[in-house]
Amino acid sequence: MKPLSVLAPADDPRVLEAVQQYLAELEAGRKPLRADWLARFPGIADELTSYLDVLDVVHAGAPLLQEPPAPESPPAEPLGDFRIVREIGRGGMGVVYEAVQLSLGRRVALKVLPFAATLDARQLQRFKNEAQAAAQLHHTNIVPVYAVGCERGMHFYAMQLIEGRTLDAVIGELRGDAARDLPSTGATTENRAAAHRDTSRGRHSHLLGAGRSLRDRESFRRAAQLSAQAADALEYAHEAGVVHRDIKPANLLLDAKGNLWVTDFGLAQVSTDAGLTRTGDLLGTLRYMSPEQAAGRPLEVDHRCDVYSLGATLYELLTLQPAFPGDDRQTLLHEILNDEPRPPRQIDRSIPVELETIVLKAIAKSPGDRYGTSGEFAADLRRFLEERPILACLLYTSDAADE
């Protein structure tokens, strides 16, 4: 069998056409007989076989998303050392499965590059960069990667399966939303990439207060503690030459013990991959994107974009509202580039003024007005937690606006 070639469809459009037809049959609930299908394409049968192998493996696990397999059901075909159990999320940068690592008998989250993406050399390189970036980071608040591989032309990597919920889900519960369907967030089910199916709804939101009317200084302190953990993780990543570029509540996991985990390095910039980003590319989730990212100026994007995005996340943890509430892409883009966020204490006067000052510094329009590093951001959060004077100083706060 010939190995999967990313360039094959570009060289021979018959391969891509045949693959698309086969995929359409599978999605319609019809699985063509392999021998009959290959007989329709005798000139490319050998090359086409590699692609059909990939599609068959992916679709073998797809029904598991709807309902658990019966005990007598045969397991999906293993992908290397991993047996797929069920799908737990998908998005543009990968499909994530709960899987079992057969050699060790442990449950993992297995992220697999979507088949269509293997036809795009840039997508494939970004996936490889994501796996490499995550695998080189060993920090108590970054979801660890166990293995990276490619089997039958399918690229994947395995990471720790976190029992918990995303901050996105926790914020929605605090706000009282049933589904948190904010427009233009760019959120997908892949945002639970390393999180196991949650059976503990309500067990995490108490860590940040049970609701707006019951939130107190301790709940705000808890938000600061979680943000400091994320800032520590980002500082470690930045020192290793990795910029996340997509920090948002949906990419931060809160486990049952109250620890925070940074996940999903799918858009990470590694010091060696600058050529993958071009002027005009918008990488990240718009609602949490720094102005320099939103403006499509990649040469101006550095580690301070993560400072901004984490600040926007903390803003939402404190206020239960996004820093910029635009309900369509164009409005949101205009707000990010031109408007100042509403000071948090104008939304909730119980938010400590020190936290408001810290947040507004983190999400300053100009990178030079933000914290210089994520470490500085974390240090000021801990000054607040230790009831010491913070170093951030802003002229524009809710108190200044009231005068």
Burial grade of 278 (CB within 10 A; 0-12, 13-18, 19 or more): exposed
Structure-block tokens of residue 188 = 């997908």
Longest dimension (CA), the chain: 79
Amino acid symbol at 363: I
Listing DSSP states for 23-58 in one string gives HHHHHTT----HHHHHHT-GGGHHHHHHHHHHHHHH
Active-site pick, 53, 168, 246, 306 = 246
Residue burial 57-89, b: 16+ Cβ < 10 Å; e: rest: bbeebbebeeeeeeeeeeebeebbbbbbbbbbb
Query: Three-state SS for 359?
Result: helix
The residues pairing with 97 across neighbouring beta strands, listed in sequence order, are 87, 110
Concerning whether 302 is annotated as a catalytic residue, the answer is no
Report how far residue 43's alpha carbon sits from residue 176's, in angstroms, rounded to the nearest whole number. 58
Report how far residue 155's alpha carbon sits from residue 111's, in angstroms, rounded to the nearest whole number. 9
Residues 6 or more apart whose Cβ sits within 8 Å of residue 104: none
Alpha-carbon Rg for the chain, nearest whole angstrom, is: 23
The residues pairing with 69 across neighbouring beta strands, listed in sequence order, are none
Q: Are strands 94-101 and 106-112 parallel, antiparallel or unpaired?
A: antiparallel
Residues 6 or more apart whose Cβ sits within 8 Å of residue 297: 279
Active site amino acids: 246
